[in-house]
Amino acid sequence: KFISTYNFKIHKLNNLLIISSIIFIPMGIVLMQHDTGTAIVFTSFIFVLYREGLTPYVLFFGVVSIILFIMSLLVEQITIIYVLLVAALILFTFLNGQLRYILTGIGIFIGGFALFWGANYLFKLNIDYKFLLIGISSFVSIIYMILGKLKKIKYAFIIGLFLIGSISFSFTVEYIFNKVLEPHQQARINELLGKTNDLKGVGYNVNQSKIAIGSGSFWGKGFLQGTQTKYNFVPEQSTDFIFCTVGEEHGFVGSSLLLIIYTIFLLRLIQVAERQRLAFSRIYGYGVVSILFFHLTINIGMTIGLIPVIGIPLPFFSYGGSSLWSFTILLFIFLKLDADRFKYLA
């Protein structure tokens, strides 16, 4: 409702703060109830904001944050810093093409590292080289930011800020992982990333699900003929893991057909949303599409082992009255708004 108000500009800072509060405050409250699946659904509304004019850089930084989170769990911090430095230099070269500033940055980095290393060796400071590297990287980034402001070098300030932000975020991952996430969530992420291999414990559901989907082959085993699902090897096969039932019984063909039907359904909803005369109806329509797409992606992703198990149903397919009623009410409110659009004909 707030976004659909007259003369709304999404790029204004106060509007962005209000929108962030509307999305993230309920999300935080839900997280406090230990319902991660429902909380994550709130992030789907970012796609609605993107349709209404939000800069695509927000999506870019979101993807980068996810990549940094994963990499910080898999490799040493010093490796991440090296990669970020190289990426920043490559990005600066691609966007600006001014080689002398890149060589200046490399020279400052090498000189700074030699200076700090010499001081550390002579004065017996015993400073960890990781912290030396972090400090020098931050110093180089600040130099780039200053150059960007004083010399008006295009993108230098942004790249320097991005480098500092990325390094800082990578060092918060350990705290988030160990202090914020629940133990079972940590175990699921470790299992997904291959850091643990507990096929009889936390990885049992996903392992049996992948076995079921793989055994379905191309055509599948036939309706109600799946051995993994028929003999209850797959837990929650009628709710969260229902897609593996489709994969085993109807194979690649049936799974692909189901995805095609979902794709056509979502594209049709987008088409209906675009023809709305009221901004509120259009925004609501895109909200419905975002929620359905998010549920579809997360559910299938966790079933085939690409996303940690969260516990999100497959829309209009998973067994359960609450999810079916919720999706149905969402959809029929949108259909009612679409039917009423003729009232606003000029």
Segment 193-242, tens digit of pLDDT: 878 787 787 888 888 888 888 888 888 888 878 788 777 788 777 788 88
Q: For residue 290, what pLDDT is reported?
A: 92
**How much of the chain exceeds pLDDT 90, in percent?**
14
Tokens of 111: 């000189």
> Could you report how far apart the first and last alpha carbons of the chain are, in Å?
22
Domain ranges in the chain are 71-180, 198-344
pLDDT digits (tens, 9 = 90+) for 13-39: 777 788 888 888 888 888 777 777 788
Determine the average pLDDT of the residues in 62-66: 81
Q: For residue 262, what pLDDT is reported?
A: 95
Lowest mean pLDDT among 6-20, 59-73, 296-310: 6-20
pLDDT digits (tens, 9 = 90+) for 278-299: 888 888 999 999 999 999 999 9
Tokens of 127: 């400073």
Residue pair 313/240 in contact (Cβ under 8 Å)? The answer is: yes
Going by pLDDT thresholds of 50, 70 and 90, the confidence category of residue 50 is: confident
Residue 343 exposed, middle or buried by CB count within 10 Å (0-12, 13-18, 19+): exposed
Give whole-number Cα distances, 134 to 118, 119, 334, in Å: 16, 16, 51
The structure tokens 């944050």 sit at: 65
Determine the average pLDDT of the residues in 80-100: 65
The Cα 182–Cα 289 span in angstroms is 30
The Cα 52–Cα 284 span in angstroms is 12
> Does pLDDT of 140 surpass 80?
no
Residue 301: CB atoms within 10 Å: 16
Going by pLDDT thresholds of 50, 70 and 90, the confidence category of residue 300 is: very high
- Supply the Cα-derived Rg of the chain in whole angstroms: 25
> Does pLDDT of 148 surpass 60?
no
Q: Which residue has the higher pLDDT, 244 or 341?
A: 244
Q: For residue 296, what pLDDT is reported?
A: 93
Going by pLDDT thresholds of 50, 70 and 90, the confidence category of residue 170 is: confident
Determine the average pLDDT of the residues in 314-342: 88
pTM higher than the cut 0.85: no
> Does pLDDT of 108 surpass 70?
no
> Does pLDDT of 256 surpass 90?
yes
pLDDT digits (tens, 9 = 90+) for 257-267: 999 999 999 99
Q: For residue 66, what pLDDT is reported?
A: 83
The Cα 92–Cα 234 span in angstroms is 50
Average pLDDT across the chain, whole number: 78
Q: For residue 225, what pLDDT is reported?
A: 80
> Does pLDDT of 144 surpass 70?
no
Going by pLDDT thresholds of 50, 70 and 90, the confidence category of residue 146 is: low
